[in-house]
């Protein structure tokens, strides 16, 4: 369908802007000096697009139709924690929903990728890593299209991804690192917080390496087995889509036992919200605790990094880190293995410095002598 709009420029000149919109095709527009030229151009473009609809006798399907099928068949199997996935789908539906699948090309997706980079996201400018997640979501949807034989190939795989920075590893300093360490300051601030759940949530994240969503949704009485000392995250909550056993020892076990004794009648969540739902993440209280503790550049997810980093510095193997964190591949834990090697290097440097000091010291200058 074509629309023609008459416009008058600041100099008093008349222009005719024509726009052609046909379902399944990119929007086309142009500007002409006469209405006849605009009408002729619109008629020509519409004719080309309508003739292009004939394609091997097969019915054309739009991207929205494929998304409908995806959301019906595949979306229910995705982890419930991943709210971002639905946001990706909504964005792609707005951007490509009216296009016929055969008109979705790598160049069209590349234009959409550039738009993603220019647009501000819910929390500010989108990073290259975020845009790559959008592209991965699109590729997953188009893969279903190839399986249904609605598409001959997944063209999203031909679109170059953005460069991503190296994986972030930010962890709390320990008492052995400095006298007034971040670990002690954060735990003290959480205990003083008016939010009764914050301290328990932080300690459990430190001891288990679980994500906030896994603790808030996965810590349910039905999932906890004190007889075996832990709880099992079901597949629909765990990020990798596989159930994961999480051991509970020490203070973490004490917290879970205490909270089990005070369950609300209408809910078996250890961190209950309203009704039958888990409580939302206490964002305001968390931010206040960080401010009170004087800790900067730290996210709640960094407690998971802290958990893994402490294990690495206690000589946990890559396999042990993989199982504890619930990663599918060893590549995801390579950053912590590197951290463990760096820690060992620092220990070796201290030993080398000690030996050098012993060799330079005079007998009796506070250095123990071996008889």
335-354 per-position pLDDT tens digit: 666 666 666 666 677 777 77
> Is the model's pTM score more than 0.85?
no
CA distances from 2 to 23, 29, 100, 244 (A): 12, 9, 19, 56
Q: Over 60: is that where the pLDDT of 86 sits?
A: yes
Which residues of 173-234 form beta strands (DSSP E)? 224-225, 230-233
DSSP 3-state assignment of 120?
strand
Q: What's the rounded Cα separation, in Å, for the pair 278 and 270?
A: 8
Q: What's the rounded Cα separation, in Å, for the pair 106 and 117?
A: 17
What is the length of the chain?
A: 371
Q: What are the structural domain ranges in the chain? A: 2-51, 63-158, 168-193+294-360, 196-205+212-281
- Higher per-residue pLDDT: 95 or 176: 95
63-158: what fold? DNA polymerase; domain 1 (1.10.150)
CB 254, CB 247: distance < 8 Å? no
97-118 per-position pLDDT tens digit: 989 898 899 999 999 999 998 8
Token pair recorded at residue 62 = 């739009």
Average pLDDT over residues 203-220: 90
**Which residues have C-beta within 8 Å of that of residue 64, sequence separation ≥ 6?**
93, 97, 98
Supply φ then ψ for residue 339, to 5 degrees: -65, -40
Q: What's the rounded Cα separation, in Å, for the pair 266 and 100?
A: 48
């Amino acid at each position: 369908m074509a629309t023609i709009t008459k416009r008058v420029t600041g100099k008093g000149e008349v222009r005719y802007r024509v726009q052609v919109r046909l379902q399944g095709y990119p929007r086309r527009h142009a500007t002409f000096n006469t209405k006849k030229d605009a009408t002729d151009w619109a008629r020509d473009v519409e004719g080309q697009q309508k003739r292009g609809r004939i394609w091997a006798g097969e019915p054309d399907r739009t991207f929205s139709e494929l998304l409908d099928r995806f959301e019906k068949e595949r979306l229910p199997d995705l982890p419930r924690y991943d709210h971002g996935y639905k946001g990706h789908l909504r964005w792609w539906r707005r951007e490509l929903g009216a296009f016929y699948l055969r008109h979705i090309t790598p160049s069209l997706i590349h234009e959409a990728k550039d738009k993603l980079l220019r647009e501000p996201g819910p929390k500010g400018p989108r990073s290259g890593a975020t845009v790559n997640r959008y592209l991965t979501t699109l590729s997953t949807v188009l893969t279903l299209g190839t399986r249904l034989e609605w598409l001959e190939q997944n063209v999203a795989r031909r679109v170059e991804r953005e460069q991503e920075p190296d994986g972030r590893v930010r962890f709390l300093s320990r008492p052995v690192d400095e006298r007034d360490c971040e670990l002690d300051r954060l735990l003290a601030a959480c205990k003083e917080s008016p939010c009764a759940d914050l301290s328990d949530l932080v300690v459990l994240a430190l001891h288990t390496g679980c994500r906030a969503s896994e603790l808030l949704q996965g810590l349910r009485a039905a999932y906890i087995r004190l007889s075996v000392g832990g709880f099992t995250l079901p597949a629909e909550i765990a990020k990798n889509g596989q159930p994961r056993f999480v051991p509970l020892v020490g203070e973490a076990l004490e917290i879970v036992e205490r909270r089990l004794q005070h369950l609300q009648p209408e809910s078996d969540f250890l961190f209950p919200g309203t009704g039958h739902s888990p409580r939302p993440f206490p964002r305001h209280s968390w931010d206040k605790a960080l401010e009170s503790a004087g800790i900067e550049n730290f996210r709640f997810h960094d407690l998971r990094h802290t958990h893994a980093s402490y294990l690495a510095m206690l000589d946990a193997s890559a396999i042990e880190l993989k199982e504890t964190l619930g990663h599918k591949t060893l590549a995801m834990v390579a950053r912590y293995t590197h951290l463990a090697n760096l820690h060992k290097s620092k220990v070796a440097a201290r030993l080398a410095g000690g030996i050098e000091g012993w060799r330079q010291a005079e007998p009796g200058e506070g250095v123990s002598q071996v008889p």
